Amino acid sequence: MMKSKPIRTLGVLSLLIFFGAYVWAGDNKIITLNGGGATFPYPIYSKWFDEYYKLHPNLQINYQSIGSGGGIRQMTERTVDFGATDSPMTDEQLSKVNGTILQIPTLLGAVVLVYNLPGIKELNLTGEAIADIFMGHIKKWNDPAIAKINPGIRLPSESILVVHRADGSGTTFCFVDYLSKISPNWENNVGRGTAVRWPTGLGGKGNEGVTGLVGQMPNSIGYVEMIYANRNHIPYATVRNQSGKFIKASVEAVTAAAASASKAMPQDYRVSITNALGEQVYPISTFTWLLIYQKNAGNKGAILKGFLKWMLTEGQKMAPKLGYAPLPKGVADMAQKTIASIQ
């Protein structure tokens, strides 16, 4: 009997890939899992699915990269088998779900400030300046608040074009959570959330959409997950951390941000690591989570457990090459115990 070959649809909104082998009654049979959510971890999730497929070729998973808000909505409506989010579900959101949802951390990443300034490859920014840019208070690139932290760089007198997410997004939550910790003005007037009322700027759908707009528009600035900036060769700013050091986003700097969190991780894994302490910390860092129903129909719980156990061991080894930081060992060990409760 010929084995099914993988089918891949690589687009902004969906990933289709086959993995897993389950045989019963003497016949090969494909099991399908459907999921959707965060664009932040989409590149590594597609890599994990591809590698897991090589080990188990008959399990089909459909994943829509629609943003964390979409993933949470689909889990609430029970239209998917799993979801993905970069902002943990709130008590209010969890109360609307029929059943228990486990929020399992998968890895860590950085939200970076990408910009399009021809001829400028290095740019320093502070949290206060970022907040004022995205509130529309700093309107020109050569504003004194930017110029004084970039000595020797000829900043243009052009207007700043702000680009933000148009959809509900965990990337947005990480970004505005950071700004709320840095700027009382931001916290009081814009606040936190997967979607906020933006004071200024253009909206792009997904990390892909924001990356594309910034790449096309000179004098623009936006926020995306680091891997999208690296893959598209768009420069991103160095950001001053709580210790006063200007730090470039990197796997090492994100790992440093997670170090303190791993020592006091809550049992439900809902934790913020933005603006963390430490000289080598990149301040706009975050965990990302898979959303799993604790009780699943048929044998889907066992299938999910198998993949998640692999993800927390072999899968973690692939994270650094793709620009993500693996989970601290203590967090991964905790997650393994949580996975054991899936039915």
Q: Note whether 158 and 83 are same-domain residues.
A: no
Q: How confident is the model at residue 23 (pLDDT cuts 50, 70, 90)?
A: very low
Q: Note whether 194 and 156 are same-domain residues.
A: yes
To which residue do tokens 């060992």 refer?
Answer: 329
Q: Quick check: is 232 in a domain?
A: yes
pLDDT at 172 over 90: yes
Q: Quick check: is 270 in a domain?
A: no
* Among 263, 297, 320, residue at a domain's last position: 263
CATH number at 85 reads 3.40.190.10
Q: Note whether 236 and 155 are same-domain residues.
A: yes
Q: Quick check: is 4 in a domain?
A: no
The total number of structural domains in the chain stands at 2
End-to-end CA distance of the chain: 32
Q: Note whether 204 and 335 are same-domain residues.
A: no
* Among 247, 263, 279, residue at a domain's last position: 263
For 165, phi then psi, to 5°, come to -75, 140
Residues of the domain holding 50: 15-108+288-339
The 10s digit of each residue's pLDDT in 52-101 is 888 888 887 788 899 999 999 999 999 999 999 998 999 999 999 999 99
How many C-beta atoms lie closer than 10 Å to residue 13's C-beta?
15
Q: Note whether 97 and 131 are same-domain residues.
A: no
How many C-beta atoms lie closer than 10 Å to residue 245's C-beta?
16
Q: Note whether 128 and 238 are same-domain residues.
A: yes
pLDDT at 30: 82
Q: What is the amino acid identity at position 60?
A: Q
Quote the mean pLDDT of the chain.
89
Q: Is 182 helix (H, G, I), strand (E, B) or coil?
A: helix
Tell me the two tokens of residue 51. 């590698």
- Judge whether 105 and 300 are in contact, CB under 8 Å: no
Q: Quick check: is 211 in a domain?
A: yes
Q: Note whether 208 and 332 are same-domain residues.
A: no
- Judge whether 313 and 335 are in contact, CB under 8 Å: no
Q: How confident is the model at residue 31 (pLDDT cuts 50, 70, 90)?
A: confident
Tell me the two tokens of residue 140. 């020109």
- Judge whether 90 and 254 are in contact, CB under 8 Å: no
Q: Quick check: is 250 in a domain?
A: yes
Q: Note whether 93 and 140 are same-domain residues.
A: no
Q: Quick check: is 69 in a domain?
A: yes
Q: Quick check: is 9 in a domain?
A: no
Q: Note whether 255 and 199 are same-domain residues.
A: yes
Q: Note whether 155 and 181 are same-domain residues.
A: yes
pTM for the structure as a whole: 0.86
pLDDT at 49: 82
Q: Note whether 127 and 246 are same-domain residues.
A: yes
Q: Note whether 134 and 66 are same-domain residues.
A: no
pLDDT at 28: 62
- Judge whether 178 and 285 are in contact, CB under 8 Å: no
- Judge whether 21 and 52 are in contact, CB under 8 Å: no
Over residues 305-313, mean pLDDT: 95
Q: Quick check: is 194 in a domain?
A: yes
The 10s digit of each residue's pLDDT in 223-265 is 999 999 999 999 999 999 999 999 999 999 999 998 877 777 8
Cα 208 to chain center, whole Å?
Answer: 12
